[in-house]
Structure 1
Amino acid sequence: MNIGIYIYQNSEVLDFSGPFEVCSTANRFLEQPHQVLLIGQSTAPVKARGGFTVTPHYSIAEHPPLDVLIVAGGIHDQEMFNQPVINWIARQYTRVNVLASVCTGAFLLAEAGVLSGLKVTTHWQDIANLQARYSDVEVCSDLRWLDQGKIITSAGISAGIDMSLHLIERLYSRQLATQTAKQMEFDWQTN
């Protein structure tokens, strides 16, 4: 299984590193580990919020087939108009089993047209903006994460860890998700 995490300039660090840590920690308990892959528009280093620099493993043009794609949030104003990326997200929606977003990553999913008619969530500070911009999406404010089947969205920043633990539960088992949270010494909020 391949779990991809899309990152871009000014991504929120915990939006991608939290899910990465959850998925890689879960691997410690699996006989057949999944791969956790950071994906950028290119493989050039990405400068995330606060100046944290990370190098993607793959580009959107060349990566293994994905089973799950998680889109990080951050300063998304330019990224949501990056047409090659938006087109790639729309294509991945037709290929992956689960497409998820952390925080304002929901704006990229909405721009790709994959949230129409769904209930979603995002960072509390961006809820009104997401609702106003995409009137065909119902934005919820009272949940840390929201599972709508193929689409899972989470509220801001640390909520992506809760969502990722839910993803591990969904892909594997409640026991593995609980074991992963314990290993991370994280107080999992299951909604």
Structure 2
Amino acid sequence: MTTYGLLIFEDAEELDFVGPWEVFGTSAALREAGDRTVLIAERPDPVRAVKGMRVLPDHTFDDHPPLDVLLVPGGDGRHQISPETLTWIAKTAAGTPWVTSVCTGSILLHQAGVAKNRRVATHHASEEELEARGDVTVVRGERWVVDGNLITSQGVSAGIDMSLWLVDHLHGRDHFKQVRGYMQYDPAPPYADE
């Protein structure tokens, strides 16, 4: 059984957590092994993401199950993230086999001490900001970067690719193909040559 825990917070970027949610949720449904995907927030109240989506967390920092995967999204809300959230990220990451981020979630991982002295990816518009924080190697031009048990991805849609890689790594290529097929995920965007 695999438990995926996705952090949510006010003004998080929707696709940063909804894209991976779709991948992990599809994987859980197809595996029928008791896998689950849960949303975790500091408080039990609904969270409003950056474009207005309202989301209800399944658990708080105090009552979530043990995690196999922690995902930290990015978004404008990272600028107002609470010290309690950073403390929770650090504590949870220390006991979680896989720690992941999408977009500027890697900056939150750095602030929490998790990404220091690691190779990471982030949204292209935030690469210089992250690099200026020091004690980190920002990898440019890669959709996702694996450094030990830490997986960070570039912005927004890159979280889907990173999550699919992790599903492949955890559960095998045949299962990955089932998940991708069910999602009808085609990584070639329309108008790619324009």
RMSD: 1.2
**Equivalences for 1:1-191 in 2 at 5 Å?**
1-75=2-76, 76-79=78-81, 82-133=82-133, 135-188=134-187
Instruction: Provide the rounded CA distance (Å) in 1 between the counterparts of 2:34 and 2:160.
Output: 19
Partner Cα separation in structure 1 for residue 27 and residue 184 of structure 2: 13
Give secondary structure in 1 for the equivalent of 2:115. coil
Structure 1 residue runs without a partner (length 5+): none
Q: Residues of 2 paired with 1:107 and 1:169: CA distance?
A: 26
2:144 is aligned with what amino acid? W
Gap regions ≥5 residues in structure 2: 189-194
State how many pairs are aligned.
186
CA displacement at 1:188 relative to structure 2: 4.7
Letter aligned with residue 180 of structure 1: V
Which secondary structure state, in structure 1, belongs to the residue aligned with residue 30 of structure 2? coil
In the superposition, the TM-score normalised over structure 1's length comes to 0.94
1:112-161, CA deviations, whole angstroms, 9 ceiling, x for partnerless residues? 1111221100000110111012x110001110001112100000000000
Maintained 8 Å contact 1:165/1:188: no
Shift of residue 187 of structure 1? 2.3
Distance 1:173 1:138 in 2: 29
Structure 2 counterpart of 1:114, one-letter code: V
* TM-score of the aligned structures, taking structure 2 as reference length: 0.93
Post-superposition shift, 1:102?
0.5
Identity %: 40
- Partner of residue 191, structure 2: none
SS in 2 for 1:96: coil
